[in-house]
């Protein structure tokens, strides 16, 4: 184990000693037993090739691979993007009949061609005794750049933001965290003890260990986790980016701690979480549910957990879920699959899942948190994959209705995880939005020129094209202005259909 000075690039700029252990792959990381407030880091060397699931040469989703098209010549790899056609010049049409401007944007760093992405360090931070939080960081050398913190969805972790860490870490300081009870932030010890032989599955014992008293993997725990992480590890206000569950946590945290948030980006954020009443918000009703995700699990919950866990942790079930949430089935998601599968094999995984499922609701609802952010002037940006089967576009439009000034980008085709499915687009939009905020509006929002920034009321659509592994790919991104509504969209759709009928 090598001791590295505090100004060494692999970790945070903190007045603490950092212990670094080099490794060659994520799977070799062992959860450390560390002392209070100590941070342990290890440089991650991500493999460029995916681990195959079988001897067949295709990705986990078994999608049809599109035929490569001719690469764009003379493309420069900076992060600005170029308009390569006007609405009159480009003949493509969106589904609502609007003409679509084509915009060329940068791809991800192509390591096969010698382009270097930002190196990623894997770290552990001990928030409380036995509460070891895993996170990853890139871009530590960008000391004068804004800090970004990515919050993952349910069932995944910081690994889901690898493409953001490698790309955005070239310009910003970027962190991605694993929520407690998920990813690699699972406990290092059994939260319960048992009079029987050592349990193979943790959390199913007879008595709660002192350190796990009142432990429940809930929205409030994750909000507090983010609070102390921002204060003690990052040390300054951040831009928060959250997908699915992480979007709700980001919004909830920002509503409670607006002074620590420079802006919030919601990526298909789930608009609700938890089923049981919150003990602070509804104390009388909460007393009816004497067990709300704490340890140990009651006998009835244990049996239910064993039944459900056996099915959802099955590799084929995990693969089925990934097929649902990714719109592009030609995308290789083998690494995501293996990381999720590895987490399910941890002895604490089943009981942690039960705690999450039976945890009480957050003290603030999604709408209440959204209202507080709006009231406190927290900037919000909305990015939603249109083909999401779970958080459908109507949820994003509902958010837009409550914060009409927030930029809304609808990406198609893209599913529940646009940051992993079309990272080129999400990274491009994030860079532009942050640049606009940091310049206090001097720079136009992504996809808008200076004139459009002032005048756009309804919506515009642009075809964003980028190069991925030597082939051209593109998606349509629709920007929705301050006066956009669902009625605008329906009106545009039917107008275009009638126009087509008249021309026949």
Model confidence pLDDT, tens digit, residues 325-384: 999 999 999 999 999 999 999 999 999 999 999 999 999 999 999 999 999 999 999 999
Tokens matching residue 250: 């980001």
Instruction: Tell how far CA 58 is from the center of its chain.
Output: 25
Lowest mean pLDDT among 64-78, 83-97, 450-464: 64-78
In a domain, 81, yes or no: no
Quote the domain boundaries for residue 205: 118-452
Radius of gyration of the chain (CA): 23
Q: What is the pLDDT of residue 495?
A: 53
Q: What is the pLDDT of residue 449?
A: 76
Once rounded to an integer, what is the mean pLDDT over residues 465-472? 93
The DSSP 8-state label assigned to residue 305 in this structure reads H
- 427 class by beta-carbon count within 10 Å (0-12 exposed, 13-18 middle, 19+ buried): buried
Q: Residue 179 and residue 200: Cα distance in Å, rounded?
A: 23
Say if residue 65's pLDDT is above 90: no
Say if residue 439's pLDDT is above 70: yes
Identify which of 331, 335, 336, 334 has the alpha carbon closest to the alpha carbon of residue 473: 331
Q: What is the pLDDT of residue 219?
A: 97
Return the top range by mean pLDDT from 170-174, 396-400, 456-460. Answer: 170-174
Lowest mean pLDDT among 235-244, 319-328, 425-434, 474-483: 474-483
Model confidence pLDDT, tens digit, residues 200-212: 789 999 899 999 9
Q: DSSP labels for 232-269?
A: III-S-EEEEEETHHHHHHHHHHHH-GGGEEEEEEES-
Percentage of residues of the chain with pLDDT beyond 90: 64
Q: What is the pLDDT of residue 396?
A: 92
Are residues 388 and 396 in contact, defined by beta-carbon separation less than 8 angstroms?
no
Say if residue 86's pLDDT is above 50: no
First to last CA, the chain: 74
Q: What is the pLDDT of residue 113?
A: 81
Instruction: Tell how far CA 184 is from the center of its chain.
Output: 16
Once rounded to an integer, what is the mean pLDDT over residues 92-97? 52
More confident residue, 248 or 24: 248
More confident residue, 118 or 82: 118
CB atoms inside a 10 Å sphere around CB 349? 20
Return the top range by mean pLDDT from 73-87, 274-288, 301-315. Answer: 301-315
Bridge partners of 138? 174
Lowest mean pLDDT among 65-69, 93-97, 132-136, 384-388: 65-69
Say if residue 467's pLDDT is above 90: yes
Token pair 């709300």 is found at: 292
Token pair 């010698």 is found at: 114
Q: What residues contact 255, with CB distance under 8 A and at least 6 apart?
A: 364, 368, 369, 370, 372, 373, 376, 378
In a domain, 54, yes or no: no
Q: What is the pLDDT of residue 80?
A: 53
Say if residue 454's pLDDT is above 80: no
| CATH number, domain containing residue 447 | 3.40.50.1820
In a domain, 43, yes or no: no
- 57 class by beta-carbon count within 10 Å (0-12 exposed, 13-18 middle, 19+ buried): exposed
In a domain, 5, yes or no: no
CB atoms inside a 10 Å sphere around CB 259? 8
Helix segments in 289-422, DSSP class H: 299-312, 315-325, 334-344, 349-357, 366-375, 393-402, 418-421
Once rounded to an integer, what is the mean pLDDT over residues 465-486? 85
In a domain, 479, yes or no: no
In a domain, 466, yes or no: no
Identify which of 121, 145, 102, 73 has the alpha carbon closest to the alpha carbon of residue 431: 145
Q: What is the pLDDT of residue 45?
A: 44
Tokens matching residue 369: 């948190």
The DSSP 8-state label assigned to residue 99 in this structure reads B
* Average pLDDT in the chain: 82
Model confidence pLDDT, tens digit, residues 481-500: 775 555 555 555 555 455 55
Are residues 256 and 223 in contact, defined by beta-carbon separation less than 8 angstroms?
yes
In a domain, 101, yes or no: no
Are residues 280 and 361 in contact, defined by beta-carbon separation less than 8 angstroms?
no
Model confidence pLDDT, tens digit, residues 390-437: 999 889 999 999 999 999 999 999 999 999 999 999 999 999 999 999
In a domain, 96, yes or no: no
Q: Helix or strand or coil: residue 42? A: strand
Lowest mean pLDDT among 32-41, 70-79, 152-161, 199-208: 70-79
Identify which of 463, 461, 458, 454 has the alpha carbon closest to the alpha carbon of residue 491: 458
Q: What is the pLDDT of residue 43?
A: 53
Q: How many domains does the chain have?
A: 1
Bridge partners of 84? none
Residue 453 banded pLDDT, cuts 50, 70, 90: low
Q: What is the pLDDT of residue 259?
A: 98
Residue 458 banded pLDDT, cuts 50, 70, 90: low
Q: What is the pLDDT of residue 491?
A: 54
């Amino acid at each position: 184990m090598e001791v590295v000075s505090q100004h060494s690039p692999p970790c945070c700029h903190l007045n603490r000693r950092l212990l670094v252990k080099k490794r060659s792959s994520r799977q070799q990381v062992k959860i450390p037993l560390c002392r209070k407030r100590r941070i342990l880091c290890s440089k991650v060397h991500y493999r460029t090739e995916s681990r195959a699931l079988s001897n067949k040469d295709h990705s986990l989703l078994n999608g049809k691979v599109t035929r490569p098209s001719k690469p764009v010549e003379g493309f420069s790899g900076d992060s600005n993007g170029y308009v390569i056609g006007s609405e009159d010049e480009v003949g493509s049409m969106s589904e609502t009949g609007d003409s679509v401007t084509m915009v060329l944007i940068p791809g991800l760093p192509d390591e096969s061609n010698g382009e270097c992405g930002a190196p990623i360090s894997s770290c552990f931070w001990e928030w409380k005794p036995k509460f070891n939080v895993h996170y990853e960081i890139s871009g530590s050398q960008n000391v004068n750049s804004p800090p970004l913190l990515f919050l993952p969805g349910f069932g995944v972790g910081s690994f889901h933001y690898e493409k953001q860490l490698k790309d955005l870490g070239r310009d910003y300081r970027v962190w991605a965290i694993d929520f407690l009870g998920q990813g690699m932030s699972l406990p290092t010890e059994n939260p319960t003890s048992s009079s029987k032989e050592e349990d193979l599955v943790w959390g199913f014992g007879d008595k709660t260990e002192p350190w796990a008293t009142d432990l429940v993997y809930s929205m409030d725990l994750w909000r507090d986790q983010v609070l102390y992480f921002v204060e003690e590890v990052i040390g300054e206000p951040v831009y928060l980016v959250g997908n699915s569950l992480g979007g709700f946590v980001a919004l909830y945290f920002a509503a409670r701690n607006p002074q620590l948030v420079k802006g919030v980006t919601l990526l298909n954020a789930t608009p609700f979480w938890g089923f049981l009443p919150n003990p602070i918000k509804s104390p009388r009703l909460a007393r009816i549910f004497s067990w709300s995700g704490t340890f140990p699990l009651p006998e009835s919950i244990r049996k239910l957990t064993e039944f459900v866990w056996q099915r959802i942790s099955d590799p084929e079930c995990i693969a089925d879920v990934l097929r649902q949430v990714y719109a592009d089935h030609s995308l290789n998601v083998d690494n995501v699959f293996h990381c999720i599968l590895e987490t399910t094999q941890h002895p604490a995984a089943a009981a942690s899942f039960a705690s999450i499922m039976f945890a009480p609701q957050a003290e603030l609802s999604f709408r209440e948190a959204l209202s507080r952010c709006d009231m406190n002037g927290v900037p919000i940006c909305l990015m939603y994959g249109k083909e999401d089967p779970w958080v459908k576009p109507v949820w994003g439009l509902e958010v837009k209705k409550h914060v009409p000034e927030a930029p809304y980008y609808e990406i198609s085709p893209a599913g529940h995880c646009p940051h992993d499915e079309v990272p080129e687009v999400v990274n491009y939009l994030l860079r532009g939005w942050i640049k606009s905020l940091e310049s206090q509006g001097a720079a136009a929002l992504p996809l808008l020129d200076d004139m459009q920034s002032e005048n756009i009321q309804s919506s515009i659509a642009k075809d964003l094209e980028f190069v991925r592994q030597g082939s051209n790919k593109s998606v349509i991104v629709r920007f929705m202005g301050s006066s956009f509504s669902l009625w605008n969209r329906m009106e545009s759709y039917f107008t275009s259909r009638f126009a087509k009928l008249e021309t026949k």
